[in-house]
């Protein structure tokens, strides 16, 4: 692993902790379900990241949304 890869990984963890801290500060009742909230945020950010790195257009996303209902 290069130094830049390690730096980017540290930045990602820092951003993730920032989002979680902001949520827990704004909505204190979520602290009781910290593990579930962390899991939901992790999966959501992972799926949003997939949209950014994969060759997917908005047409494909809307098609999947349409057939899911």
pLDDT for 9-57, tens place per residue? 777 788 889 989 999 999 999 999 999 999 999 888 888 777 777 776 6
Report the predicted TM-score, pTM, of the whole model to 2 decimal places. 0.64
Residue numbers of the domain that contains 38: 3-67
- Amino acid 67: pLDDT: 62
Q: Domain tally for the chain? A: 1
Q: Does residue 58 register a pLDDT over 70?
A: no
**Which residues, 6+ apart, have CB-to-CB distance to 45 below 8 Å?**
16
Q: What is the 3-state secondary structure (H, E, C) of the chain?
A: CCHHHHHHHHHHHHHHHHHHHHHHHHCHHHHHHHHHHHHHHHHHHHHHHHHHHCCCCHHHHHHHHHHCC
The answer to whether residue 69 scores a pLDDT higher than 60 is no
């Amino acid at each position: 692993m290069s130094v830049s890869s390690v730096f980017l990984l540290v930045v990602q963890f820092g951003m993730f902790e920032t989002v979680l801290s902001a949520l827990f500060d704004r909505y204190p009742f979520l602290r009781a379900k910290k593990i579930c909230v962390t899991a939901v945020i992790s999966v959501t950010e992972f799926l949003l990241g997939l949209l950014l790195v994969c060759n997917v257009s908005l047409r494909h996303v809307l098609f999947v949304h349409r057939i899911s209902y």
